[in-house]
């Protein structure tokens, strides 16, 4: 049986979540990526499902099982993630927890680049589409509630406030991912909820508990929207 609350706060809602890193190919065997584990995004998808929502999870490459009862779309690159997100719309809530690679190598080499005694040509990088900003701004099918994340290594709340405005989302979940924090790849997270109304800082919690509380909060917000 699916782990769904019969009277869950998100029953009848479609929740779209992005999670994990993206991999941007250099050649058939090499890629550019980041340290995201996908734990927080996957925990949110699972919590939304337990709250009764229909959940679509667009996930980059992670070492995690698909959450039960969740429709998971596996992608590798940022461009594939954007296409999968657009294909999954409409949604009542969009939660963009993925650590999307900001840049990708220009043009993937068709064959494995060979070590031939000299250094390879320097990697040229080009900016990836911003999935959150694309969906939050001027998209015909913008979900009524759009939630972004801000992974920062310094001045966390200040950067999150700027991102809230720049990206056009309704709420930013900001966290400190500096090396000492243990957040990247770890089981716990310390988040600040940043909206136009202000900032709410939560204590350090298990990522599952952050997910449960966030889903509870989003259910209240979407009922009011």
Binding string, residues 59-88; x marks residues near ligand CTP by CB under 6 A: -------------------x----------
Q: Output the six-digit token pair for 224.
A: 């009011």
Is 96 part of any known ligand binding site? no
Interacting residues of 56 by C-beta distance below 8 A, sequence separation 6+: 14, 15, 16, 17, 70, 71, 72, 73, 88, 91
The one segment of 49-57, 66-74, 96-104, 209-217 that binds Ca ion by CB under 5 A: 96-104
Q: Which whole-number Å values give the CA distances from 86 to 53, 91, 139, 184, 218, in the listed order?
A: 19, 10, 10, 27, 21
The one segment of 1-9, 64-72, 106-114, 129-137 that binds ligand CTP by CB under 6 A: 129-137
Indicate the DSSP class of residue 193: E
Q: By beta-carbon distance, which residue lies closest to Ca ion?
A: 102
Helix 207-224 to helix 39-50 angle, to the nearest 10 degrees? Answer: 50
Residue ranges that bind ligand CTP, judged by CB under 6 A? 18, 78, 96, 98, 100, 102, 128, 130-132, 148-151, 163
Binding residues: 102, 112, 129-132, 149, 163, 167
Binding residue ranges for CTP: 102, 112, 129-132, 149, 163, 167
């Amino acid at each position: 049986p699916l782990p769904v609350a019969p009277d869950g706060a998100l029953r009848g809602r479609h929740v779209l979540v992005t999670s994990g890193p993206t991999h941007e190919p250099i050649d058939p065997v090499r890629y550019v990526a980041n340290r995201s584990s996908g734990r927080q995004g996957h925990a949110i998808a699972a919590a939304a499902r337990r709250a009764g929502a229909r959940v679509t999870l667009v996930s980059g490459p992670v070492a995690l099982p698909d959450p039960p009862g969740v429709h998971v779309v596996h992608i590798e690159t940022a461009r594939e993630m954007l296409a999968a997100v657009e294909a999954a719309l409409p949604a009542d809530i969009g939660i963009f927890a993925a650590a999307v690679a900001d840049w990708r190598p220009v043009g993937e080499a068709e064959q494995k680049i060979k070590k031939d005694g000299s250094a390879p040509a320097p990697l040229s990088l080009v900016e990836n589409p911003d999935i959150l900003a694309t969906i939050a701004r001027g998209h015909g099918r913008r979900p009524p509630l759009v939630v972004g994340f801000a992974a920062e290594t310094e001045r966390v709340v200040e950067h999150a406030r700027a991102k809230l405005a720049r990206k056009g989302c309704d709420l930013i979940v900001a966290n400190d991912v500096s090396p000492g924090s243990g957040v990247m790849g770890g089981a716990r997270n310390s988040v600040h909820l940043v909206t136009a109304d202000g900032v709410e800082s939560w204590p350090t919690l298990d990522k599952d508990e952050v997910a449960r509380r966030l889903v509870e909060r989003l259910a209240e917000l979407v009922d009011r929207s």
